[in-house]
A and B are shown apart, each in its own frame.
Chain A
């Protein structure tokens, strides 16, 4: 064999196949483990209460307070525009996804 200055080694097709099989096996094992360790996405829930005037001329949104329910009349507070009664028009939540 003529040595043309290239330093290396030669492998045959069977060794390549064996190495390929081993690599594929390792990849599939890693993928399986990764799939099983997928962390669930955390979710933060912010709940808001929408307060409205009975005459529909004023609306405000605030954080939900335990005891709030839709249709509840707000005591000790009246509409800043017409001095009428205020009631809870709706309660809804916004979900914010947090990265694990």
Chain B
């Protein structure tokens, strides 16, 4: 029989026993690491705790946005705002068109988006008293959409968490832990977006309409397509057509359709189309920086952008783009001074493009893309 010999330290006795204990623990740890998933389970239980805590924080955010919106709706004369928000947040969806057959997908998507917008407008009209003006109706629609977005994201996250837990899908839980801080930041911004729409304050995304407003702050707006207007103005001997969403309510309008109609009515006699929009900055870039290039500066799901591109290509009109950079949070919350300074710079850039790339007597279209909340 072989007797196990442990090294003896000068202070034999207690130290030897401690060493044996240490040796056993180390070996047990190695055994557990190699032959069991104990450590994975410990890690998963830690992830589980983190996800639950984050989801609870998101729920608090949703409730804050909801109570803020409820107060606003109540002030506008809605008797049971909680029920209105709940109904809208839980029972509204859009099924995207079939993409496996791409023929006319843009037309189908545009059609669905229009139906969706009309449904939202008719829902808002049905709940609001007739005394509420058009601008506030637009703002109410956006406030409801914010609540819908918060609710939808929360429900998806909760589904992923419960699904991962139910099926021991550890990778899913790990991905959730990794991505939740970023999602929470976006949701926090979305929650903050209720205030500007409630009060009718311009947001970062209003930068495009604000540039247009600088050209013609008080001039008469002529409706061209639904929720979209244009203004005719003389500038340095050129005739400029300013296109923007109908303000000061919170809407983005249909700038693509408006440009298409305008160019058609001018029989393609347009020397330049300039689109001005807010753009997401890259990390490290400053908010309010202005950049210009070529193309259609518009961030819609597709129908409006393609409309501008097709019109420009059909008539051979140069397409200029001017963007004002900002973070995703800045785009949907109160317009800051830095972004307003960017708007003033973009106004100068647009004027420069008009004078450099066209000659007196030419016709130019300038489209301010974005949500026109708080901007006439």
Contact = CB atoms under 8 A, between A and B. Distances in A.
Interface of A: 10-12, 14-15, 17-18, 32, 36, 40, 45, 47, 54, 64, 66-73, 87, 89-95
Contacts of A36: 50, 53
26 contacts: A12-B19, A14-B15, A14-B22, A15-B15, A15-B18, A45-B334, A47-B334, A64-B199, A67-B200, A68-B374, A69-B376, A70-B210, A70-B213, A70-B217, A70-B247, A70-B374, A70-B375, A73-B218, A87-B217, A89-B217, A90-B202, A90-B343, A92-B202, A92-B336, A93-B337, A94-B337
A72 B195 CA distance: 20
B201 A93 contact: yes
A10 B213 CA distance: 81
Contacts of A17: 22
Nearest to A72: B376
A73 B218 CA distance: 8
3 closest cross-chain pairs (CB), A and B? A71-B376, A93-B334, A69-B248
A91 B202 contact: yes
Interface in B297-319: none
Interface in B341-376: 343, 374-376
Query: Secondary structure of the A side of the interface?
Result: mixed
A66 B188 CA distance: 23
A81 to B, nearest CB: 18
Interface residues of B, number: 32
Given A45-B334, A66-B200, A73-B218, A12 B340 contact: no
B201 A47 contact: yes
A93 B338 CA distance: 9
B76 interface: no
Contacts of A70: 202, 210, 213, 217, 247-248, 374-376
Interface string B206-240: 00001001000110000000000000000000000
A69 B334 contact: no
Given A14-B19, A18-B18, A45-B334, 9 more contacts: A18-B22, A45-B195, A54-B218, A68-B374, A69-B374, A69-B375, A70-B210, A70-B213, A90-B340
Contacts of B53: 36
Contacts of B19: 12, 14
Interface of B: 9, 11, 15, 18-19, 22, 46, 50, 53, 135, 188, 195, 199-202, 210, 213, 217-218, 247-248, 334-337, 339-340, 343, 374-376
Given A10-B11, A70-B213, A73-B218, A92 B337 contact: yes
A36 B202 CA distance: 34
B336 A71 contact: no
Contacts of A40: 188
B50 A12 contact: no
A91 B46 CA distance: 46
B245 to A, nearest CB: 13
Contact of A91 (B188, B218, B374): B374
A11 B247 CA distance: 79
B123 to A, nearest CB: 24
Nearest to A45: B334
B210 A12 contact: no
A83 B57 CA distance: 54
Contact of A71 (B11, B195, B248, B335): B248
Contacts of A72: 248, 376
A91 B11 CA distance: 79
B340 A71 contact: no
Contacts of B200: 66-69
Which of A36, A92, A95: most chain B CB closer than 10 A? Answer: A92
